């Protein structure tokens, strides 16, 4: 079973996100209170698998949930191996649709500068919120 292990937000773009107890995903907008939430684009919510974070930890980097600026850290599913258009249910109400895998990093982050690589550009995914609701650590994530 895949599940959410962290919900993360930041007030500004370009910074690590902090873990919060619970958040609200707003339909066609994103995670309320997060700098990346925006109704005008397809990257409303970012997600990263814990297995991707584990790869960076194996390189000796001290990282955890939110350090790659992801909104949702997931355990039990390799998100980047799924096709664009995949839909997920989160908890009881939320529906997300994958819109992009990876992203171009124009200014290499501190993690890249430290070890010469970063996983978000190839393994992070982006989704849009089809149906919103409350999200918290422990919520189940399913492909629908």
Listed by start position, the domains of the chain span 2-143
Checking if the pLDDT of 52 tops 70, the result is yes
**Arithmetic mean of pLDDT over the chain:** 88
Gap between the Cα atoms of 77 and 20, Å rounded:
21
Range 2-143: architecture per CATH: Beta Barrel (2.40)
Residues 119-142, mean pLDDT to the nearest whole number: 92
For 51, which DSSP code? H
Are 51 and 73 contacting, i.e. CB atoms less than 8 angstroms apart?
Answer: no
| pTM, rounded to two decimals | 0.89
């Amino acid at each position: 079973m895949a599940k959410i292990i962290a919900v993360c937000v930041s007030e500004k773009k370009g910074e690590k996100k902090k873990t919060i107890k619970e958040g609200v995903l707003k339909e066609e907008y994103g995670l309320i209170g997060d700098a990346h939430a925006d109704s005008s684009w397809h990257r409303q919510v970012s997600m990263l698998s814990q297995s991707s974070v584990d790869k960076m930890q194996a390189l000796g980097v001290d990282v955890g949930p939110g350090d790659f600026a992801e909104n949702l850290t997931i355990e039990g599913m390799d998100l980047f191996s799924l096709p664009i258009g995949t839909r997920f249910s989160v908890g009881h109400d939320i529906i997300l649709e994958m819109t992009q895998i990876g992203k171009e990093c124009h200014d290499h982050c501190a993690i890249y500068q430290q070890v010469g690589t970063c996983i978000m550009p190839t393994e992070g995914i982006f989704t849009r919120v089809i149906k919103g609701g409350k999200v918290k650590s422990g919520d189940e994530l399913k492909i629908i």
